[in-house]
Structure 1
Amino acid sequence: MTLGFINRYPLVVATLLCGVAVASFLLVGQDSAAQWLASGFSLFVAARLAVGMVRALARGRWGIDLLAVTAVVSTVLVGEYIASLIIVLMLSGGQALEDFAQGRAKRELTALLERAPQVAHRERDGGPPEEISVEQVVPGDLLLLRPAEVVPVDGVLVSDFGSFDESALTGESLPVERTAGDPVLSGSVNGEAAVRMQATASVGDSQYSRIVALVREASASRAPVVRLADRYAVPFTAFAFLLAGAAWLASGDPGRFAEVLVVATPCPLLIAAPVAFVGGMGRAARSGIIIKNGGTLEKLSRVRTVAFDKTGTLTGGRPVLLEIRAMDGPAGQLPADELLRLAASAEQYSSHVLAASVMEAAEARGLVLVPARDATEHATHGVIADFGGRAVVIGKRRFVAEEARGTVKTPLASGQMAVYIGVDGAYAGALVLSDAVRPNAASTLEQLRRLGLDEMIMLTGDARETAEHIAREVGLDRIQAECLPADKVETVRALPRRPVMMVGDGVNDAPVLAAADVGVAMGAKGSTAASESADVVIMLDDLSKVAQAVEIGQRSIKVALQSIWIGILLSVGLMVAAAFGHIPAVAGALSQELVDLATILNALRALVPARAAGGIRSQPGRIRDYSRAGE
């Protein structure tokens, strides 16, 4: 027995030592001394429990300690001092048993905390790397990552090639390969070769620190459902006393009263729910889902309506190039690649969301961008750039039409958008892009329906036509288009079937995530504001994790309640048997330990998913428009 265990659980140690002393007295025939020692020690523990019970009652909380106190006192009074000592051991050991079970359940949840990097190796002026604290790293520092070392801060890879284990962040078991210029996430583990990276964030602003902060918040929480055990306390206690009293009256033996109360001790009610909830949160963390507090698990289990943002949530969040439509001009038609190269070169000077998509398309074709002699961005409209005598204008049709003659509207299908291009004062063509629906969006919605969420709505600031196109693709039957962040908040608050879950990813989603009963942030790409406003953060860029979070919430609640009822039913069965005189006090005390073990083992089932159910049914329906224009 270690010193740490003795310091943490002194009552358990004292009870074991008392048991050894009692056994020694019995072996040498000192039955009276054994009885006095066991009875005195048991009454001392009962007095401590009674003090705690009175304090709880003063705070207005009805607990189930009264059963334990009465069971100890009654066994002492009828001379069953061995049984009283076993009850004391069961009660004192219950905390140790609960800590062990919760430690098993929290293993995945605390793994991230234990892996937090403490040091970094910084290189300066070509000299040898110096070991510094991660708090000393600033953006721009050149860091050396040794083999199997945890990446201390977010950055970009400087070396030509690197392999990283991101399983702690994303749940992906296979190593991820990166090349020079690719982002490297803090908390990932470097492969077998030393590489260099440049820091782009301090430790406080890095991805891993945000995860650690969320996990700390999650592990410190206490779920409301844990208090469900207290709700059963009064009826369970009343039933136990009534049955014990009836057994005493019917048999005329006061020992029956003690025997019934021995098997009515409340450990299963106290242990089961906390273990199930921490197990569910641990399973979620292992899957890349940070559930900030235990209360969210209960809400997830009861969610009936879900609202989705469109861009970055149901769609990939970054439009992809579908087609290059070059047009005849005074100098003829530009080749498609040349038109794209000029467009991407101009988009280098734009902060618009479509600019990155245009540049990525040019890079994918191996096109080399050229610097502009002069460039001006007109916010939200477009860019005018001069490339050594060749003037390029790119952006919205009306903006381009002001600078390039002959600009015409290009035909678009639902869900498509166009970037117009003018070269040397004439319309040169358009790039057609589309924000593609996530491949697993439709299947995720089907899984949510199977989990009982039959009310779904999409909230977006996009045009109604685009919103309807996306809704048809994923099987949504309700939309609200052309809405501002305030409109989203108002809509979510007005939804009738609650609790309501909102899923989003951007800064503009932060208000509605906070307003929803359960806010879910797609944290892999989302903003810090969205992650901080949400109750659940998905650390992967995977929409299916939303359905998995709901399933984990439902299963955790189910397992917690099952465990509570298993403890109650087993205890009631033992009480009935004891009332008829079939379970002596000592045997009853030992059998109650088996009840504790059964409830804990059942509660640990929250660590693993339930067996997959049958097929998922899709229920796409007629689109109902709830946009401002339709209200």
Structure 2
Amino acid sequence: MSRVLEFIRRYPAVALTVTVGLLALAAFFVLDDGPAVARVLVTAFALVVAVQQGWGMVQDALRGRWGLDVLAITAILSTLAVGEYWASIVIVLMLTGGEALEDYAETRARRELTGLLSRAPRSAHLVLGEGSVLDVSVDDVTVGQTLLVRPGEMVPVDGVLLSEAAELDESSTTGEPLPVTRRSGDAVLSGAVNGSTAVTVRVTASAADSQYQQIVALVENAAESRAPFVRLADRYAVPFTLVALAIAGAAWAVTGDPVRFAEVLVVATPCPLLIAAPVSFIAGMSRAARAGIIVKDGGTLERLARVRTVAFDKTGTLTHGTPRVARVLPAGRTDDELLALVASAEQLSNHVLARALVDEAAARGLTLTTDVTVDDVPGRGLRARVDGHHVVLGSYALVAGTAVGMEPEALAPGEMSVVVSVDGRYAGTVTLSDEVRGDAARTVSRLRDAGVDRMLVLTGDGQATAEAVAAQVGLDEVRAGLLPQGKVDAVAGLAGPAGTSSRPVMMVGDGLNDAPVLAVADVGVAMGARGATAASESADVVVLVDELDRVADAVAISRRTVRIALQSIGLGIGLSLVLMVLAAFGVIPAVVGAGLQEVVDLVAILNALRALGGPAAETGGRRSGRAVTSRHQERAERRDDVLV
């Protein structure tokens, strides 16, 4: 009973139509003059609905929108005029029931989007000291506070792990299907679900600035958007209406029977066009969310499906964005011995190159000595005593002045070197580079296969470095040495006049300096896996997972979504045309035709829901075979991928 009442509350028009229909049926079979009473009841109700629909049509027309309401209104009036009042009540039920049908379809299509919203944490356990805990609203949590996260609970805000270790399910933010292990001092993103042991976290960002809440905000905007494709469906409205009226008029003229006119229009009702397109787009956006891709609105999904040119930023997009050890070139010792010596000297430094050297040593499991004293040489390197040895490392110029046996190594484009001497003799060189992502070449190849005509790299780096990266991933056009405004100008120039083959243009970037160019592109895609930035806020699409392959997934999902939307519209129109021709020959009575049109609606909507699935699920398969147990193991795996 409660479900019935809830249905009536949500869909009063449907409930009223059903009630009128049941009362008319009861009067028809119970009362002596039942047929007359039923006719009057149904006719009055159908006329009220026709007037209401007509008023809405007039308002749309005044706003410059011509839709399909004229067919529904004409069908209602024509069936009443020829005495087919039972057909008119079925048409009214179809029109009012379309709201419930659309709501059901959209609810199913939005499942992935709304799932993120429903899981958003509302409260946090604040640790007060001496073991006491106070539950507070997540919005009241401030930076620096300590929170308790119990087993199975979601981390409410971004923080740093204080406990020794934690096993976290980060699938809601990164898409990684397997639990990951975080150690004390590691960053923990909101949205991660804690494992079987309670842990404590020090807050590093408020709720509004945390990863999961930023994702929720993006999803809320996406869930409320309406695709311009709905207007594209309206483009079919005028020709469809004219064809339907022409067939109905011809049937009447040839047979001389006005009933044929009504029978044709009954099967020409417009629900497939009104519902199938938006359902397809919502389903496609939900499918993208499941793949870790937030498409902010339906219009973006449509533009994404038509992308002809793709421009990539280099640092942080085609590459990882952080220097990593590329080669260890020892002189007179092993690779590990040289790396352990360098990392021992650099272990107390916060310089980005020093961190890369220390991290590489940790990934290899090397033991660093603590018997170290260091004297920095700003901008050039450092001098140190490591286990009693005099070590100089840094630029070639610094080491060359203090060592013999120097053998400078030739550097590849994009590489930088740390030259090392020990006790006055050259000991080797460690080269570092910003490595190209392992999936960058595959992404470029998939985009070409999808029909993207032109791809290039836009970067502020030097020409030689940019060309080396472009050659490695398969890009044949490079524009280097660009400041942020230069990137904006380059993308604006790529776009060209509307309608040219280079549009739409998609820009893929990462970082604050990419925000302007992402905003000016037809489709801006932000690699936002490391948290919300100005880039993700100005972009149209945000990739939540640190995998460039998801850009190709986004294009594949969008193209499949638009294809299914067009198929659903075509399917609805095609079936309606077949039914109209049959009705014109008197094969389909008006009441039966109204019921068959409802079948056409269901077929079109079920086809639209196919956008929830699709082949882009392959990304999940690639991830599922790799369990990340620690940051060091992940770095080691990435290094092995590059070497292979």
TM-score by length of 2: 0.88
1:274 to partner: Cα distance: 0.5
Contact between 2:311 and 2:457, CA under 8 Å: does it hold in 1? yes
Deviation at 1:484, TM superposition (A): 2.1
In 1, are the aligned partners of 2:523 and 2:539 still within 8 Å (CA)? yes
CA offsets per residue over residues 289-325 of structure 1, 9 Å max, x none? 0011111101110001111122222222223223445
Letter in 1 for 2:601: D
Which stretches in structure 1 are left out of the alignment for 5+ residues? Answer: 329-333, 614-631
Deviation at 1:10, TM superposition (A): 1.1
Counterpart of 1:5 in structure 2 is 7
Tell me how far apart the structure 1 counterparts of residues 159 and 375 of structure 2 sit (CA, whole Å).
29
Could you tell me which amino acid in structure 2 is paired with residue 478 of structure 1? E
Alignment partner of 1:548 is 2:550: no
Instruction: Provide the rounded CA distance (Å) in 1 between the counterparts of 2:297 and 2:8.
Output: 31
Distance 1:293 1:82, change over 3 A: same
1:161 and 2:165 aligned: yes
Change (3 A) 1:580 1:338: closer
The residue matched to 2:25 in structure 1 has which SS?
helix
Displacement of 1:255 after TM fit?
0.8
Provide the C-alpha distance between the structure 2 equivalents of 1:36 and 1:241, rounded to a whole number of angstroms: 27
Change (3 A) 1:79 1:440: same
Compared CA separation, residues 548 and 335, structure 1 to 2 (3 A): closer
Is 1:27 the counterpart of 2:29? The answer is yes
Q: Does 2:301 match 1:297? A: yes
State how far apart, in whole Å, the 1-side matches of 2:394 and 2:209 are: 34
| Structure 2 counterpart of 1:340 | 342
Where do residues 232-243 of structure 1 align in structure 2 (5 Å cutoff)? 232-243=236-247
Which secondary structure does the structure 2 equivalent of 1:508 belong to? Answer: helix
Counterpart mapping for 1:406-485 below 5 A? 409-420=408-419, 430-485=429-484
Aligned with residue 524 of structure 2, among 495, 519, 527: 519
In 1, the alpha carbon distance for the partners of 2:206 and 2:368 equals: 33
Summarize deviations over 1:471-527 as a string: whole Å, max 9, x none: 222222122223222222222221251111111112222222112111111111366
Note if contact 1:148-1:190 (Cα within 8 Å) is conserved in structure 2. yes
For residues 145 and 106 of structure 1, the distance between their equivalents in structure 2, rounded to whole angstroms, comes to: 29
Q: Is the 8 A contact 1:394 1:419 kept in 2?
A: yes
* Counterpart residue identity of residue 559, structure 1: I
| 2:247 counterpart letter in structure 1 | L
C-alpha spacing 1:480/1:396, structure 2 compared with 1 (3 Å): farther
CA drift at 1:61: 1.1
Within the candidate set 563, 566, 569, 2:571 is matched to 566
Cα shift at 1:401: 6.5
The question of 1:128 aligning with 2:127 is answered no
| Contact kept? 1:171, 1:288, Cα under 8 Å | yes
Letter in 2 for 1:87: I
Distance in 1 of aligned mates of 2:535 and 2:380? 28
Q: Structure 2: how far apart are the matches of 1:126 and 1:421?
A: 51
Does 2:218 align with 1:214?
yes
Cα separation, 1, equivalents of 2:139 and 2:255: 73
Aligned position for 1:619: none
Identical-pair percentage: 54
Confirm or deny that 1:593 pairs with 2:593.
no
For the Cα contact (< 8 Å) 1:507–1:527, is it kept in 2?
Answer: no
Output the CA distance in 1 between the equivalents of 2:281 and 2:85: 36
Give the alignment of 1:16-95 within 5 angstroms: 16-28=18-30, 29=32, 30-95=34-99
Number of residues of Structure 1 aligned to a counterpart in Structure 2: 603
2:535 to 507, 527, 530: 530
1:419 maps to a residue whose letter is V
Contact 2:338 2:428 in 1 (8 A): no
- SS of structure 2 residue aligned to 1:129: strand
Find 2:291's aligned residue among 287, 293, 317: 287
Q: Which residue of 1 aligns with 2:16?
A: 14
Deviations 1:125-175, CA, capped at 9 Å, x for gaps: 333222111122222222211111011011222222221111212222222
Deviates further, 491-500 or 46-55? 491-500
Report the counterpart of residue 318 of structure 2 in structure 1: 314
Q: Is the 8 A contact 2:347 2:355 kept in 1?
A: no
Tell me by how many angstroms 1:273 deviates.
0.4
Identify if the C-alpha distance between structure 1 residues 356 and 317 changes in structure 2 by more than 3 Å, giving closer, same or farther: same
Output one character per residue of 1:560-596: Cα deviation in whole Å (capped at 9) or x when no partner.
1111111111111111111111111101100100010
Q: Kindly report which structure 2 residues correspond to 1:351-430, keeping only aligned pairs within 5 A, or say none.
A: 353-364=352-363, 365-368=365-368, 378=378, 381-382=379-380, 395-397=394-396, 400=398, 409-420=408-419, 430=429
TM-score of the aligned structures, taking structure 1 as reference length: 0.89
Q: What is the RMSD of the two structures over their aligned residues, measured on CA atoms?
A: 2.7
Q: What's the counterpart of residue 486 of structure 2?
A: 487
Query: Which amino acid counterpart does residue 530 of structure 1 have in structure 2?
Result: A
1:498 and 2:503 aligned: yes
The alpha-carbon deviation at position 397 of structure 1 amounts to: 4.4
Q: Is 353-362 or 298-307 further displaced after alignment?
A: 353-362
What is the SS of the residue equivalent to 2:132? coil
Query: Structure 1 residues 301 and 37 mapped into 2: Cα distance closer, same or farther (>3 Å)?
Result: same
Q: Secondary structure at the match of 1:143?
A: strand
SS in 2 for 1:124: strand
Query: Quick one: distance in 2 between partners of 1:246 and 1:133?
Result: 68
Aligned to 1:109: 113
Contact 2:67 / 2:234 at 8 angstroms: preserved in 1?
yes
Contact 1:343/1:358 (8 A) holds in 2? no
Equivalent residue runs for 1:169-248 within 5 Å: 169-248=173-252
What residue identity is the alignment partner of 2:587?
Answer: H
Structure 2 Cα separation of the partners of residues 405 and 11 of structure 1: 89
Gaps of 5+ in 2: 497-501, 619-644
In structure 1, what is the Cα distance between the partners aligned to 2:293 and 2:236? 32
Please identify, of 23-32 and 531-540, the stretch whose mean Cα deviation from structure 2 is larger.
Answer: 23-32
CA separation in 2, counterparts of 1:320 and 1:549?
29
User: How many Å separate the matches in 2 of 1:3 and 1:371?
Assistant: 77
Q: Which residue of 2 aligns with 1:152?
A: 156
Q: 1:383·1:395 contact (CA, 8 Å) conserved in 2?
A: yes
The residue number in structure 1 matching 2:640 is none
Partner secondary structure for residue 255 of structure 1: helix
Describe the SS at the equivalent of 1:241.
helix
